Amino acid sequence: MRIALIGQAAFGVDALKGLLERGHKVVGVFCPPDRGEKADPLKQAAQAAGVPVFQPKRMKDPEALEQMVSLAPDLAVLAFVTDIVPGKVLAVPKLGSICYHPSILPRYRGASAINWAVINGEAKTGLTIFWVDEGIDTGDILLQKEVEVGPGETTGEVYFNKLYPMGVAAVVEAVDLIAQGKAPRIPQDHSLGTYDPPCDEKVAGLDWNCPARQVFNFIRGCDPQPGATTTFRGEKVKLYNAAFLDEAHTAQPGEILAVTDQGLKVAVPGAAILVTRFRTKELGKVKAPDFIKAREPKAGEKFI
């Protein structure tokens, strides 16, 4: 079976390696153009494996379609794709195209599925390999796998520790099923579909007046990107590596309860959080001791 792989970064690399190790024939790789002298890791891995590399500026450009047609693939595999791949490109492979998505579809469609699952306090999430159609994450399901989300886990931890390695294995498993003629096509129940906006700077503002667990979930859901954003003495500050503390107090939400060696203990409604890493434009991303030394925060001051 002739496979065209569309992807980027480390996930694309590991998907490529997994397919090759399994004995599948990858006839071409599509990845983003080089940024200056920096080539995408997938490009480097493909070249090292002797796999042709294609780097159209955008996948909707005519050259991308021409390149896909030239490969005569049986299947296209999308492994971490941020560009929009038009339907006419995805329709070229004889058997269609499949894509990895880090949620249990039809819930959490869109670009920031893990972020929103964590922000919403989900105890479980997972991944889906689906057959691509013209919609956004709406295609028939090929396979799904579920993982638990720990009560204190961040988006980064859920992805890198769970959904990344499981996702690479799932891509290979899905291709195996297709090669064996055993891959299902299970229609999604679109009435259950949910979409959320990209979890970026536009939605990263932290509301200290929300319920305590909601504040905590928002911080861990925005960790490591885009970082839950608040202000301190008029300066924008991003918060990371928070811990939930079930402690009663009479302080206002956002008020610093204590400055400790571990970090800043901050009030949320009916509880507290301990923040141990911060980012500012001037300091960059720093551990709590460095932030405390630079800004000298005092108990009673507030994040707003």
Residue 37 has pLDDT above 90, yes or no: no
108 lies in the same domain as 180: yes
Per-residue model confidence (pLDDT) at position 133: 94
88 lies in the same domain as 56: yes
Range of the domain at 291: 201-295
155 lies in the same domain as 282: no
Q: Is residue 74 part of a domain?
A: yes
114 lies in the same domain as 28: yes
Q: Distances from the Cα of 137 to the Cαs of 133, 158, 224, in angstroms?
A: 8, 20, 24
Task: Output the average pLDDT for the chain.
Answer: 97
34 lies in the same domain as 131: yes
Euclidean distance between CA atoms 210 and 213, whole angstroms:
8
Per-residue model confidence (pLDDT) at position 231: 98
CATH number of residue 55's parent domain: 3.40.50.170
Do residues 253 and 264 make contact, with C-beta atoms less than 8 angstroms apart? no
50 lies in the same domain as 172: yes
Q: Is residue 235 part of a domain?
A: yes
Percent of the chain clearing pLDDT 70 (strictly above): 100
187 lies in the same domain as 206: no
Q: Which of 169, 192, 215 is the last residue of a domain?
A: 192
Q: Work out how many domains the chain is built from and give that number.
A: 2
| pLDDT per residue as tens digits for the range 233-257 | 999 999 999 999 999 999 999 999 9
Q: Is residue 18 part of a domain?
A: yes
Q: Distances from the Cα of 25 to the Cαs of 39, 50, 89, 126, 171, in angstroms?
A: 23, 11, 19, 28, 14
Q: Is residue 303 part of a domain?
A: no
36 lies in the same domain as 86: yes
Per-residue model confidence (pLDDT) at position 28: 98
187 lies in the same domain as 91: yes
Residue 283 has pLDDT above 90, yes or no: yes
| pLDDT per residue as tens digits for the range 102-153 | 999 999 999 999 999 999 999 999 999 999 998 999 999 999 999 999 999 9
Name the nearest CA neighbour of 132 among 75, 172, 189, 180. Answer: 75
Euclidean distance between CA atoms 43 and 153, whole angstroms:
32
Q: Is residue 148 part of a domain?
A: yes
106 lies in the same domain as 124: yes
Q: Is residue 91 part of a domain?
A: yes
Q: Which of 160, 192, 224 is the last residue of a domain?
A: 192
Q: Which secondary-structure segment (H or E) carries 10?
A: helix 9-21
Quote the tokens at residue 2. 């002739």
Percent of the chain clearing pLDDT 90 (strictly above): 98
| pLDDT per residue as tens digits for the range 171-224 | 999 999 999 999 999 999 999 999 999 999 999 999 999 999 999 999 999 999
Q: Which of 192, 216, 251 is the last residue of a domain?
A: 192
CATH number of residue 269's parent domain: 3.10.25.10
Q: Distances from the Cα of 233 to the Cαs of 27, 59, 243, 285, in angstroms?
A: 56, 45, 23, 18
Q: Is residue 304 part of a domain?
A: no
225 lies in the same domain as 122: no
Q: Is residue 300 part of a domain?
A: no
67 lies in the same domain as 181: yes
